[in-house]
Amino acid sequence: MPRSLELVITAVATRLIAVDAATAAGVSRQVLAELVTHFGVHSGFLRHNDHAIHATRLIAEWPPRTVDPPDPLDLVYFADADPLLALAEHLKEPAVFRRDAPEPGHDARATTASTTAYVPLLSGDVTSGVIGLVKAGERDWTAEELNALAAIASLFAQVQARVYAEERLRFLAEHDDLTGLHNRRALMAHLDQRLAPGSPGPVTALFFDLDRLKAVNDYLGHSAGDRFIRVLAERLALASGPSMIARLGGDEFVVVPEAATGRAAAEELAHRLQSVLSRRVPIDGEMVTRTVSIGVAVGMPGQDSTSDLLRHADQAVLTAKNTGGNQVIIYSDAISLESEFRNDIELHLQSVIETGALFLRYLPEVDMRTGKVLATEALVRWQHPTRGLLSPDAFIGVAESINLAGELGRWVLRTACAEFARWRANGVGRDAVLRVNVSSVQLVADGFAESVADVMSEYELPRGSVCLEITESIVVQDIDVTRITLARLHEAGVQVAIDDFGTGYSVLSLLKSLPVDALKIDKSFVRDLGADPGDLAIVRAIIALAEAFGLQLVAEGVETETAAMTLLRHGCHRAQGFLLSRPIAGDQMESLLRRGRVSVDFSGGPA
């Protein structure tokens, strides 16, 4: 090879060796300029193939054309490309083409015939791109020149592979594998920029949390869960408008609209996205719906930090979930509501036990085939001095946070056992079970199992007559302590049920190894049975699970005959819910136990 060609190759290699993703386009243009000069042609271009979409993309050219975007030569599908360019898809060897018409676009000055040398970029057997050198008029290319160009093309191919790898790495570092959305790191970087002093504001973050997504994973399988998340991510991307969208893992998404967005607009967007995300998703022939809670926080550049904004949005979404889910809550409301309420509850809760403001209601549990009352669940109530009758959801959490849950729980257990013992002494409910809810704080406290055993023996309640209800999440939170406590309760003849089953963390794998007697299917799956086939799929999976592990199964929240019939049809006959009975006072519960059954005229007949 002549010395001059060797020098060109060396010069190109020196330039290209230091290239990275950021500098690749600029350096490629310089190299093309040198090639154009050296070979005495009019223009040169570098294109990369995108085989996934059967297209070729312009990476660099010399001299640069001035065109108004979109540049028709930027991305060209091979199917639409002119016959010469179309060859670039699979070209394996350098080739020279002559034609009579000017090379369209690549050399505006060419008015006569042109000669183009095409040299493929090869990556293994794949043609990954092409270098083209265009001369207006005739030009002969020697084999040595074409060999030199092939060597240069292979340098370009190396750069291409390096840049691609670098971009891929950057993409992976900033995106979520499952959905292709941005990840937490990218979100933080974006918010840092948006909240920097002087940036336009306000900046809004919408924090999404899918209520009960966990159940889709647990009962329909992880790949179904993944597909579900992908569908939701697509819907979010389509409906959000120009925004940064990130998935923080699990079922948590964050949307940050690109435009400065105030409170009212953010709230409107949140409601719109909420309705988009609540639409049904077909998964494995089932239609799955999950409701979604959205927390909204608005921050000002220069005042709020990224972590402030995300924390506020997170707190708002927690409030949304705690107040029943399927809601949009704006941070400021969440805070004032929560703190006002907490202060008030804290203030009065201290004295609530002494003042006799607590009392119990009982919820019967029924065999839906016969109406027989099998069990009764004690539910605590609080007659609050100014807020009226409060449900436990409103104050148990506060009691836990100010260390009153133990005392409250002991009161509930003693009161319920005392009342149950009285009924038994009157000869009723002797084959029924008393169910008592236990908060996580109680379960992990020292000596809990012993104190339950003491209360049972004090009221002479036989083994198996009392069942404690704990939630799935407690079980996994502190598995070692839980395991020991459950074993002791089991020894003491206390039954244990897992409450709200299906909503928490999956303890499927633990079920086998823990002494648990019963599962209670969460009411959110039962309420719409018959209307929501996704819920039915989950309920059926839970039924199968209970059978496999030999556990009793109780459905909560049966409100409709359709739900009752559906459960019966699939083999779950123990249930509680407003269709069967509302929570009732102790003396009413005693009379109900005396009667022994409620009416279940829906059973067997059509709804």
Residues that bind ligand C2E (CB under 6 A): 363, 379-380, 391-393, 396, 409, 412, 437-439, 469, 499-500, 523, 556-559, 576-578, 583
Residue 164, binding choice from Ca ion, ligand C2E, none, Cβ under 5 to 8 Å by partner class: none
Query: What gap in Å lies between CA 99 and CA 137, rounded to an integer?
Result: 9
Angle (nearest 5°) at CA 40 between 35 and 41: 80
Q: Quote the least distance from Cβ 439 to ligand C2E, whole Å.
A: 4
By CB under 5 A, tell whether 437 contacts Ca ion.
yes
Residue 502, binding choice from Ca ion, ligand C2E, none, Cβ under 5 to 8 Å by partner class: none
Q: What are phi and psi of 115, to 5 degrees?
A: -125, 130
Build a one-symbol-per-residue string for 458-477: x at contacts with Ca ion by CB under 5 A, - elsewhere: -----------x--------
Choose between 61 and 472: whose C-beta lies nearer to ligand C2E.
Answer: 472
Choose between 578 and 602: whose C-beta lies nearer to ligand C2E.
Answer: 578
Torsion of CA 558, 561, 567, 570, to 10 degrees: -170
> 351: which residues sit within 8 A by CB, 6+ positions away?
none
Choose between 128 and 439: whose C-beta lies nearer to ligand C2E.
Answer: 439
Choose between 412 and 456: whose C-beta lies nearer to Ca ion.
Answer: 412
Asked if residue 529 lies in contact with residue 539, where contact means CB atoms within 8 angstroms, the answer is: yes
Closest residue to ligand C2E, based on beta-carbon distance? 577
> How far from each other are the two terminal CA atoms of the chain, in whole angstroms?
91
Choose between 376 and 576: whose C-beta lies nearer to ligand C2E.
Answer: 576
Choose between 499 and 532: whose C-beta lies nearer to Ca ion.
Answer: 499
Residue 304, binding choice from Ca ion, ligand C2E, none, Cβ under 5 to 8 Å by partner class: none
By CB under 5 A, tell whether 439 contacts Ca ion.
no
* Helix residue spans in 447-573 (DSSP H): 448-458, 472-477, 479-491, 508-511, 523-526, 533-549, 561-569
Q: Quote the least distance from Cβ 348 to ligand C2E, whole Å.
A: 17
Query: What gap in Å lies between CA 576 and CA 140, rounded to an integer?
Result: 90
Choose between 47 and 523: whose C-beta lies nearer to ligand C2E.
Answer: 523
Q: Quote the least distance from Cβ 467 to ligand C2E, whole Å.
A: 12
Going 534 to 535 to 537 to 541, the CA torsion angle's sign is positive
Q: Quote the least distance from Cβ 469 to Ca ion, whole Å.
A: 4
Q: Quote the least distance from Cβ 473 to ligand C2E, whole Å.
A: 11
Residue 182, binding choice from Ca ion, ligand C2E, none, Cβ under 5 to 8 Å by partner class: none
Q: Quote the least distance from Cβ 409 to ligand C2E, whole Å.
A: 6
Q: Quote the least distance from Cβ 438 to Ca ion, whole Å.
A: 9
Q: Quote the least distance from Cβ 584 to Ca ion, whole Å.
A: 16
The tally of CA atoms less than 13 A away on the side-chain side of residue 571 is 11
Q: Quote the least distance from Cβ 363 to ligand C2E, whole Å.
A: 6
Choose between 44 and 392: whose C-beta lies nearer to ligand C2E.
Answer: 392
Q: Quote the least distance from Cβ 246 to ligand C2E, whole Å.
A: 33
**Amino acid identity for residue 369 in this structure:** R
Q: What are phi and psi of 411, to 5 degrees?
A: -60, -45
Q: DSSP characters for 409-473?
A: HHHHHHHHHHHHHHHHHTT-STT-EEEEE--HHHHTSTTHHHHHHHHHHHTTPPTTSEEEEEEHH
**Amino acid identity for residue 575 in this structure:** A
CA 483 to chain centre: 30
Choose between 313 and 579: whose C-beta lies nearer to ligand C2E.
Answer: 579
- By rule CB under 5 A, what count of residues binds Ca ion? 5
Choose between 355 and 391: whose C-beta lies nearer to ligand C2E.
Answer: 391
Q: Quote the least distance from Cβ 588 to Ca ion, whole Å.
A: 19
> 124: which residues sit within 8 A by CB, 6+ positions away?
none
Residue 412, binding choice from Ca ion, ligand C2E, none, Cβ under 5 to 8 Å by partner class: ligand C2E
Q: Quote the least distance from Cβ 177 to ligand C2E, whole Å.
A: 36
Q: Please, which of residues 491-510 interact with Ca ion by CB under 5 A?
A: 499-500
Query: What gap in Å lies between CA 66 and CA 57, rounded to an integer?
Result: 17
Choose between 286 and 469: whose C-beta lies nearer to Ca ion.
Answer: 469
Q: Residue with structure tokens 């060796």?
A: 17
* Helix residue spans in 291-374 (DSSP H): 306-322, 331-349
**Amino acid identity for residue 46 in this structure:** L
Asked if residue 115 lies in contact with residue 138, where contact means CB atoms within 8 angstroms, the answer is: yes
Q: Which residues are 497's β-sheet partners?
A: 469, 518
Residue 559, binding choice from Ca ion, ligand C2E, none, Cβ under 5 to 8 Å by partner class: ligand C2E
Query: What gap in Å lies between CA 183 and CA 250, rounded to an integer?
Result: 12
Nearest C-alpha neighbor of 379 from the set 394, 401, 368? 394
Residue 590, binding choice from ligand C2E, Ca ion, none, Cβ under 5 to 8 Å by partner class: none
By CB under 5 A, tell whether 535 contacts Ca ion.
no
Residue 578, binding choice from Ca ion, ligand C2E, none, Cβ under 5 to 8 Å by partner class: ligand C2E
Choose between 120 and 583: whose C-beta lies nearer to ligand C2E.
Answer: 583
Residue 261, binding choice from Ca ion, ligand C2E, none, Cβ under 5 to 8 Å by partner class: none
Applying CB under 5 A, which residues contact Ca ion? 437, 469, 499-500, 556
